[in-house]
């Protein structure tokens, strides 16, 4: 929807095609970094993307026996992200969507053919069974990791998807967990077994959960329903109250994300009049924490480039990719380091994480850690946290801090682009665009297409 909002702002007439029968409101934990916040404000989504972390939140590391200790987590980072639920972002986008933007639910693209002047898209109505072909000036595929638009135009998924050897599962709880305040965050780490559980607390909202584990056989993970597979992985010994309650919640969760951790790498995000945005083009994985921010920033910048080059689509798409690619590369590069943060494997990774989360309070280590953290935003300030110091910090957090810095620097670039093109907003002419968006519905199928296509 963010792409549709931005295209409508710059004079296009977007049509959204949506696989689901209605809006999906399922919520799980997401982060919104600087680039995402700036783009959300300019897209009119600002009021709906407020920080849901409570000021008195306590972060705990726990074990199955019920022991726990307070630690530092994401909320303690300077210039850190806003913490919210995925459906907060979805609802903010829906509220900002102009009333004249058409949304077609229960609709999927089945064929895409293009020429120099336009794109013919065959759309199938899954409710009525009818199909029809329509012509658009631009097709934007924002339909997720296993993008239908990408498969139809660019080729099979296997060509672009690169597994990281892990599974992530996320869903919202129906009630607070025993022994844990609703706004508190807890993490259960089991590095010897390559698995972890995170509970994310929110202010005035129910917590969400992420369970993640390493695996050598991705395909085998989807032979069972998600809740049953989670019990196999985490239930090899007594779970304790907290983990046991989470597994019970998974049994009855109505909207659950269960998928492999994979990245999408492509030489080009556009081909003719078809362009990919978000996870369909550059999925950075849930570990990197940049998915929502990257998607919003990409949609925002795409509209700016289309507005700057109204009569040269190829140049607009080329400039958009050239501008955005460096930040995407940084975000993708942070994924393995963040995987070690969320789900450390083995004693060495756990030791480095231990130093980071608990060393801030140690007299010597704490001063060293705080000294190495970036405290300024913008390109002119980035030199204050040198590459050498970041490498000294530790190989786990080095790419994480780099991603934060580059996201904020990219925000300034987006603001510049927006200011340069603002005077063009009144130009005449309306064009049509078609785009796609996807959200995996694991309650319908454990793995596969499951596409939600949206135009915009």
305-323 pLDDT per residue, tens? 999 999 999 999 999 999 9
Give the pLDDT confidence score for residue 358 in this predicted structure.
60
Residue 328, in any domain of the structure: yes
Q: Are residues 392 and 372 in contact, defined by beta-carbon separation less than 8 angstroms?
A: yes
CATH code for position 15: 3.50.50.60
On the question of pLDDT at 402 being above 60, the answer is no
Where does the pLDDT of residue 24 fall: very low under 50, low under 70, confident under 90, or very high at 90 and above?
confident
Least confident of 159-168, 366-375, 383-392: 383-392
Q: What residues pair up with 139 in beta bridges, in sequence order?
A: 274, 434
- 433 inside domain: yes
For 278: left if phi > 0, alpha if psi spans -120 to 50, otherwise beta; the answer is left
| SS3 label, residue 55 | coil
Is 109 part of a structural domain of the chain?
yes
- Coil, helix or strand at residue 96: helix
Is the Cβ–Cβ distance between 333 and 376 less than 8 Å? no
Which structure tokens are listed for 384?
A: 């204050």
Give the total number of structural domains in the chain.
1
**Distance in angstroms (rounded) separating the CA atoms of residues 227 and 440:** 16
Q: Are 123 and 108 in contact (CB under 8 A)?
A: yes
In a domain, 310, yes or no: yes
Q: Which of 126-130, 353-357, 428-432 has the highest mean pLDDT?
A: 126-130
- Is pLDDT above 90 for 372? no
**Is residue 79 very low, low, confident or very high in pLDDT (cuts 50, 70, 90)?**
low
Q: Is residue 83 part of a domain?
A: yes
Instruction: Find the domain containing 33 and state its range.
Output: 2-54+79-162+266-337+406-437
Query: pLDDT for 434-449, tens place per residue?
Result: 544 322 222 222 333 3
Residue 270 in 3-state DSSP? strand
Q: Is residue 283 part of a domain?
A: yes
Residues in CB range of 286: below 8 A, 6 or more apart: 168, 170, 210, 261
Joined tokens for residue 434: 């078609």
Confidence of residue 222 (pLDDT cuts 50, 70, 90): very high
What Rg value do the Cα atoms of the chain yield, rounded? 22
The answer as to whether 40 is a domain residue is: yes
Q: What is the DSSP letter of 176?
A: P
**Which of 61-70, 200-209, 446-455 is least confident?**
446-455
- 8 A C-beta contact, residue 410 and residue 293: no
Specify if 330 maps to a domain: yes
Residues 6+ apart with CB under 8 A from 205: 27, 52, 85
């Amino acid at each position: 929807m963010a792409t549709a909002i931005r295209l409508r702002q710059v004079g296009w007439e977007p049509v959204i095609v949506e696989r689901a029968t209605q809006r999906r409101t399922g919520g799980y934990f997401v982060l919104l970094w600087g680039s995402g916040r700036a783009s959300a404000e300019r897209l009119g989504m600002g009021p709906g993307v407020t920080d849901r972390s409570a000021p008195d939140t306590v972060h705990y590391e726990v074990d199955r026996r019920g022991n726990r200790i307070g630690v530092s987590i994401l909320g303690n980072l300077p210039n850190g992200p806003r913490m919210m639920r995925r459906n907060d972002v979805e609802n903010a986008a829906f509220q900002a969507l102009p009333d004249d933007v058409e949304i077609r639910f229960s609709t999927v693209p089945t064929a895409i053919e293009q020429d120099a002047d336009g794109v013919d898209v065959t759309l199938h109505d899954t409710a009525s069974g009818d199909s029809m072909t329509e012509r658009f000036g631009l097709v934007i595929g924002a339909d997720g990791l296993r993008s239908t638009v990408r498969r139809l135009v660019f080729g099979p998924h296997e060509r672009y998807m690169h597994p990281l050897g892990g599974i992530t599962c996320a869903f919202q709880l129906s009630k607070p967990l025993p022994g844990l305040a609703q706004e508190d965050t807890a993490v259960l780490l089991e590095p010897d077994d390559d698995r972890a559980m995170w509970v994310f607390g929110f202010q005035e909202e129910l917590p969400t959960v992420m369970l993640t584990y390493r695996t050598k056989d991705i395909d085998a993970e989807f032979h069972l329903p998600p809740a049953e597979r989670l019990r196999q992985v985490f239930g090899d010994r007594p779970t304790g109250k907290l983990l046991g309650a989470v597994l019970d919640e998974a049994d009855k969760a109505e909207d659950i994300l269960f998928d492999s951790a994979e990245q999408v790498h492509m030489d080009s995000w556009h081909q003719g009049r078809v362009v990919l945005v978000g996870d369909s083009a550059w999925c950075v994985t849930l570990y990197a924490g940049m998915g929502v921010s990257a998607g919003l920033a990409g949609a925002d910048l795409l509209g700016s480039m289309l507005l700057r080059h109204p009569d040269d689509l190829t140049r607009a798409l080329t400039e958009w990719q050239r501008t955005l690619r460096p930040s995407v590369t940084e975000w993708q590069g942070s994924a393995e380091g963040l995987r070690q943060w969320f789900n450390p494997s083995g004693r060495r990774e756990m030791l480095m994480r231990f130093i980071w989360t608990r060393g801030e309070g140690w007299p010597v280590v704490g001063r060293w850690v705080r000294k190495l953290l970036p405290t300024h935003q913008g390109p002119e300030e980035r030199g204050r946290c040198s590459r050498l110091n970041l490498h000294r910090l530790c190989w786990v957090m080095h790419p994480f801090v780099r991603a934060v810095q580059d996201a904020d620097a990219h925000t300034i670039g987006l603001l510049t682009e927006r200011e340069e093109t603002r005077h063009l907003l009144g130009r005449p002419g309306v064009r049509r665009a078609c785009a796609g968006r996807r959200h995996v519905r694991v309650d319908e199928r454990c793995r596969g297409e499951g596409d939600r296509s949206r135009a915009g």
